[in-house]
Structure 1
Amino acid sequence: MNFEVYCDESGLEALTQKNAHLYVGIGGIWLPSECRSDFKDALKKIKEKYSVHGEWKWKKVSPAFFEMYKDIIDFFFNAEYIRFRVILIEANKVDNIRFHNDDAELSFYKFYYQLIKHWIFDFNTYTIFTDLKENRNKGRLNELHRVLDKSNLTSDVISVQGLPSEQSLGIQLADLLTGLVVSKFNNELKSEAKQGLIAHVEQVYLRNEIQPTPKWQEKFNVFKINLQGGW
């Protein structure tokens, strides 16, 4: 089966500024390629309903557009063909000097690998899209593609490419869900609208607080990576 994966991150500055946030998050949505048109049509209808033409972002959540963002979240949870996964990284435990050649950019892409590799399953093909960013090392995405393609010998990662978020509804949805989870764990929220969206997810769909989930949780998977080692 052919899958598309759309990814974005939240709180990235904490990889170099440890006091910026407690957690950095990288998240992605997975959907079958054959469902791409249905996915785009459904989200475009929500935009039309609220006469919105710009991109959706967690940072843009406000009381004026609360109902629109709630509709987006409702769409995600009710669309059985879409899955979401986010990796949470405790910023103060990331040792760039010891483990990443004193290179925060390298550590970021190593965590990207950890996000995606566990959901590359046998006998599928994957096309991966990341939010376009200016990398110091221009070969980062090619290297990520290479190591992901080798992570499962019976699957095929066709490409890893950057896209401007304003051109991709998939990346916009990944931004919204990733920002929501990371904001919950960072416990920094002052926005009532954002607090309301988190409460909506927890009360209506999870019936619990957002928290780390088992690997087999497929709809809304929260992976809090253990950077201390051990059993």
Structure 2
Amino acid sequence: MESIINIYCDESCHLPCDGQKAMVLGALWCFKSEAAEHNQAIAELKVKHHLSPFFEIKWSKISPSKVGFYRELVDYFFASPTMGFRAWVIPDKSVLNHQQHNQTHDDWYYKMYFYLLRNLIFTGRKYHIYPDIKDTRSRLKLQKLQLVLRNANYDFSREIIEKIQHVRSHDIALMQLADVLIGAVAYHARGLSNSNAKIEIIEQIKNKTGLSLNRNTLPTEQKFNLCIWRPSSGGFENA
């Protein structure tokens, strides 16, 4: 069985003063050996819907004229048996008190990334993790995240987490698919309803998963795993 798994990571509204209440981190995973096939299938969907090969797939670009394409994209994700998604939802950033915990917002951000990824990593497999690049200071923080993940998995010989490398989302279709799923979870978490096309995609995800998107899934859920982080109630909402 294929042993290397690619994990593509991104987030929505991670900055502390961006005017948005909720924040979502997300990770899309698939077998490395199938990544090219998935990227090609997404490229073919673009052709089918008369989109440019250079069209960047983003949650923010969902509109009535393109909702058919995005519906087929989401269908493709759910029809792929060896592809999965996990989202880590922070419903209200205003409750954070970094000073009390002797940390910066960046420190906390990478802690959340650790919690997002730790349930996706198992001994006996190898992982290549690709977060979307954010700023020029990200490299050192990425090294710290890599160290923490390796220590948590006793991966001192670097045989489990082989690689953590920043990439740019506009270069990788699977990263763009992650953006769409993260965007759907974040839009729902913020209680927004100003786009019928986006609501249609959210309802599609609810129908495919049987989830309300308001509650945690079981930690073992592989296809669409959801965790809602609530520090004021002991850390996590009950499933």
Structure 2 length normalisation: TM-score? 0.88
2:56 aligned partner:
55
Match of 2:10 in 1: 8
Is contact 1:122-1:152 (8 Å) kept?
yes
C-alpha separation in 1, matches of 2:66 and 2:101: 42
CA–CA separation in structure 2 for the residues paired with 1:72 and 1:116: 24
1:14-53 Cα shifts (integer Å, max 9, x gaps) = x345xx2331000011111111122112111111112323
Check the 8 A contact 2:229/2:235 in 1, yes or no: no
**Residue 194 (structure 1) aligns with:** 198
CA distance in 2, matches of 1:118, 1:208: 20
1:206 pairs with 2:209: yes
Unaligned 5+ runs, structure 1? none
Equivalent positions of 1:53-202 (< 5 A) are 53-89=54-90, 90-101=92-103, 103-136=104-137, 138-153=139-154, 156-202=160-206
In 1, Cα distance between equivalents of 2:228 and 2:63: 28
Residue 100 of structure 1, CA deviation: 4.9
* Runs of 5+ consecutive residues of structure 2 not aligned to the other structure: none
Amino acid at match of 1:174: A
Counterpart for residue 34 of structure 1: 33
Once residues 148 and 235 of structure 2 are traced to their aligned partners in structure 1, the CA distance between those partners, rounded to angstroms, is 25
**TM-score, normalised by the number of residues in structure 1:** 0.91
SS in 2 for 1:12: coil
CA distance in 2 between counterparts of 1:230 and 1:180 reads: 23
Aligned partner of 2:190: which letter?
N
Instruction: Specify the code of the residue in structure 2 equivalent to 1:210.
Output: L
How many residue pairs were aligned? 226
Q: Deviations over 1:181-226 (max 9, x none)?
A: 11111102301100111111213x1234223211111100111123
Cα root mean square deviation, aligned: 1.8
Contact 2:39–2:172, Cα closer than 8 Å, also in 1: no
Q: Distance in 2 between matches of 1:58 and 1:182?
A: 10
1:100–1:174 distance in 2 versus 1, CA, 3 Å: farther
Q: 2:116 is paired with a residue of what secondary structure?
A: helix
